[in-house]
Structures are given as structure tokens and as C-alpha cells.
């Protein structure tokens, strides 16, 4: 058969999707050990679907990370990266929604086959660990599972793959390097940090005046609000004082470098400028992913509480408590969330010089001008 003919030969739907393999991959254990548990089929299918979606997330995420590995990121790829990150967020929303289906299994129904699952556990999902590590969840930031390194439940080859992935640049680290190269931050005609500090001082002064002028608050309430308002030495210190920022980095309270944080802040503040709209969407999608993963972890914990209560997990974890702690602790893009703390109103934004504003717009020149 010629190569051309082979390339365009017909393929049957069943063969293309390998449905015989896929549909023959649900092997219930309950019938082998007694009476068949009806809901075991759903339990298996739900988790198989999760793994298929994890595979797609890894496929998309790997391609995005490859785009950011070079020192000079092709700006034409930013739109593609945003599109694929958006797909990942849509997938994660599906994963959250699937928990509703899983919760149709009642506690009594689950007990019909739960004993046949030991010691299998979602903790043993190699693909989900790959997603977490690729995004930037390092082992030192993980909630411990019975004080055992998370990779010990995998084969030697899988453990090595996770180890290599953890020692390579994650999505978080690649974004950090990209943000560190943000132009426009240090120019003779526009010193961003100085202009931003003046704008923050001005904003805080106006808010203090508004609190002081109101007749609706008592003196004690005014003082409380003044304290909550803070100053450039409190909430804004991490961006206005590089030493303070590095202090927080060393404590693990922040993950992005000082330069990267300034880049992210500049993009968020001036996101309405045409050139910065796509970078802003990129950062927003990473925040969406972090938020959806947290939502999924929390919903997972609530589902476990609903179905097994506070029983120990099938893999030997503390069950609900462990899962809830991961929802609280496993934030990856916390620094990008924290940018919201540093935002100021559009009315207070430092005015960009005309030359810089032109560079941030879409324009072209003609002739020799």
C-alpha cells in the first residue's frame, strides 16, 4: 500500500478510539469476593475519567512549559499558551463537577465494596502528582502523608520521573524567569517603583482622610480601621522593600523573586494597555488554575467527609483531615493572588510617559518617519 493511500485510509470509530480496550477496563472486585456492588462500576469509571483528563492536562501543560524554556519567549506563543491554559481551566471545572456524580454513591452503597479497595488510594495517582510538580508544588511545601515522602508509593521509574521533574524548572519557575524580563520597569523617563510608591501614599492618605471625616464611626472604630488600612511599611512592604521581600522568600511566605513580582504588578496595573492584555490573561489563567485546584481539593475533602465521615482513608491517610489540609496548604501561585493586595485604583495609577505609552500600544510607522 502506498504511503499516500495508507495515510488517508478509512478508520472505524471503535478502532480509532480503542473502545474495546477502554470499555473492557472496568473490572469490579466485589463480584469476585461475594455479592456484586452496583456502585463499584461508577466508582471505577469516575476515577478512570479523572486519569484521562489528567493525561490531557499534562499534554497541554508540557507544551506550554516548552514555549517558556528559552530566554527569549516568542511573543507569538503567548496567545497559544493562554488558549491552552484556558482549556486546562475548563477541564478542572469538569473535574470539580464530577464530584457531584461521585456523591450519588451513598455511605451505605460505598461500604458494599470499600473493603475491596485496600490499600488503593487516590494518593497513588502518578499523573496527578506530575500535574502538581509540573505546576510548581515542591516537596518541601507538601502536606505530609503519614510522614512518608509522597513518591514512595510509586515504582522506581515513576519516582525517578517525579524527582527529575521536581529538579527541572516548573511552570511557576518558568513564569518567574519570564516576568523578570518584563521591560519598562527601569527607564530614565519612568521610574516605576518610585511612581508606584507615591501613588500608594496618595491612596492611603485619601482613605485615612475619608475615615477621619466620617460621622458614622466612633473614635475607637476609626482607629481600628486606620490600623487595618496599614501603610507602605505593612501590606506594601514586600514590593517596596527588596530586603523585606527577600526575608519573606527565605521564610517561604513568598515564592516569586522581587523582579518577577514587580513585573507581575506592572502587568496587572497597566493591563488595559494593548501590549499587556495578553500577558495579563496569562497570569489570570494561572490564578484560575490554582483556584480551581484548591476548589477541587476542598470538594474532594467534603465528598470524603460525606461518604466515609472521619474514617481512615483506604490508603492509610487521615482521610478528610489530610485532604482538607492539602486544600489549605497546596497553593502554587499564591504570589499572583497576592498581587491583588498591592493593587491601587485606576484613578491613582502613575501616568505613563507618551513614549512609553506608545510602546505599549499597537502602532506602525510608514515611510522614513
Give the tens place of pLDDT for each residue, 121-146.
Answer: 888 899 999 999 999 999 888 887 76
User: Residue 136 region, left (φ>0) first, then alpha (ψ -120 to 50), else beta?
Assistant: left
Does any domain span residue 365? no
Percent of the chain with pLDDT over 90: 60
Does any domain span residue 209? yes
Whose CA is closest to 360, among 175, 184, 189, 180? 184
Does any domain span residue 147? yes
Does any domain span residue 136? yes
Other CB atoms within a 10 A radius of the CB of residue 338 amount to: 19
Task: Assess contact for 170 and 133: CB atoms under 8 A.
Answer: yes
Does any domain span residue 368? no
Task: Assess contact for 81 and 67: CB atoms under 8 A.
Answer: yes
262-296 pLDDT, tens digit each: 999 999 999 999 999 999 999 999 999 999 999 99
Task: pLDDT band for 318, please (50, 70, 90 cuts).
Answer: low
Does any domain span residue 364? no
Say what the pLDDT of residue 369 is: 45
* Mean per-residue pLDDT, 31-57: 95
Domain containing 38: what range? 3-359
Among 83-92, 291-300, 311-320, which is the least confidently predicted range? 311-320
Query: Is the model's pLDDT at 315 over the cut of 60?
Result: no
Does any domain span residue 369? no
Residue with the bigger pLDDT between 168 and 204: it is 168
Does any domain span residue 142? yes
Task: Assess contact for 40 and 113: CB atoms under 8 A.
Answer: yes
CATH of the domain at 247: 1.20.58.480
Beta bridge mates, 190 = 187
Structurally, the chain folds into a number of domains equal to 1
85, three cell numbers? 491554559
Say what the pLDDT of residue 317 is: 56
Across 148-157, 211-220, 335-344, which has the greatest mean pLDDT? 335-344
Q: Burial of 66 by CB count in 10 Å (0-12 exposed, 13-18 middle, 19+ buried)?
A: exposed
Amino acid at each position: 500500500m502506498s504511503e499516500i493511500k495508507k495515510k488517508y485510509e478509512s478508520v472505524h470509530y471503535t478502532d480509532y478510539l480503542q473502545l474495546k480496550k477502554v470499555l473492557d477496563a472496568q473490572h469490579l472486585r466485589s463480584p469476585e469476593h461475594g455479592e456484586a456492588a452496583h456502585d463499584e462500576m461508577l466508582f471505577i469509571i469516575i476515577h478512570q475519567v479523572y486519569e484521562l483528563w489528567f493525561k490531557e492536562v499534562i499534554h497541554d501543560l508540557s507544551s506550554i512549559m516548552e514555549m517558556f524554556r528559552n530566554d527569549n519567549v516568542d511573543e507569538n506563543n503567548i496567545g497559544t499558551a493562554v488558549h491552552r491554559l484556558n482549556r486546562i481551566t475548563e477541564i478542572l471545572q469538569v473535574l470539580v463537577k464530577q464530584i457531584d456524580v461521585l456523591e450519588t454513591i451513598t455511605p451505605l452503597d460505598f461500604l458494599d465494596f470499600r473493603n475491596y479497595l485496600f490499600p488503593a488510594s487516590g494518593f497513588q495517582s502518578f499523573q496527578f502528582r506530575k500535574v502538581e510538580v509540573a505546576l510548581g508544588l515542591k516537596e518541601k511545601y507538601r502536606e505530609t502523608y503519614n510522614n512518608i515522602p509522597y513518591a514512595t508509593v510509586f515504582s522506581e521509574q515513576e519516582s525517578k520521573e517525579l524527582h527529575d521533574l521536581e529538579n527541572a524548572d516548573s511552570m511557576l519557575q518558568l513564569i518567574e524567569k519570564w516576568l523578570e524580563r518584563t521591560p519598562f520597569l527601569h527607564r530614565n523617563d519612568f521610574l516605576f517603583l518610585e511612581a508606584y510608591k507615591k501613588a500608594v501614599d496618595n491612596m492611603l492618605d485619601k482613605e485615612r482622610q475619608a475615615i477621619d471625616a466620617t460621622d458614622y464611626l466612633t473614635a475607637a472604630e476609626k482607629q481600628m480601621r486606620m490600623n487595618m488600612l496599614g501603610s507602605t511599611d505593612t501590606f506594601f512592604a514586600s514590593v517596596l522593600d527588596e530586603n523585606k521581600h527577600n526575608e519573606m522568600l527565605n521564610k517561604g511566605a513568598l515564592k516569586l523573586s522581587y523582579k518577577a513580582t514587580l513585573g507581575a504588578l506592572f502587568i496587572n496595573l497597566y493591563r488595559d494597555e494593548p501590549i499587556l492584555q495578553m500577558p495579563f490573561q496569562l497570569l489570570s489563567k494561572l490564578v484560575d488554575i490554582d483556584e480551581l485546584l484548591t476548589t477541587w481539593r476542598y470538594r474532594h475533602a467534603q465528598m470524603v467527609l460525606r461518604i466515609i465521615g472521619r474514617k481512615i482513608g483506604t490508603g492509610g491517610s487521615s482521610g478528610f483531615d489530610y485532604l482538607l489540609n492539602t486544600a489549605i496548604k497546596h497553593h502554587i501561585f499564591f504570589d499572583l493572588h497576592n498581587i491583588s493586595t498591592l493593587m491601587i485604583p485606576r484613578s491613582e495609577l502613575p501616568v505613563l510617559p507618551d513614549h512609553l505609552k506608545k510602546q505599549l500600544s499597537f502602532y506602525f510607522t510608514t515611510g522614513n518617519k
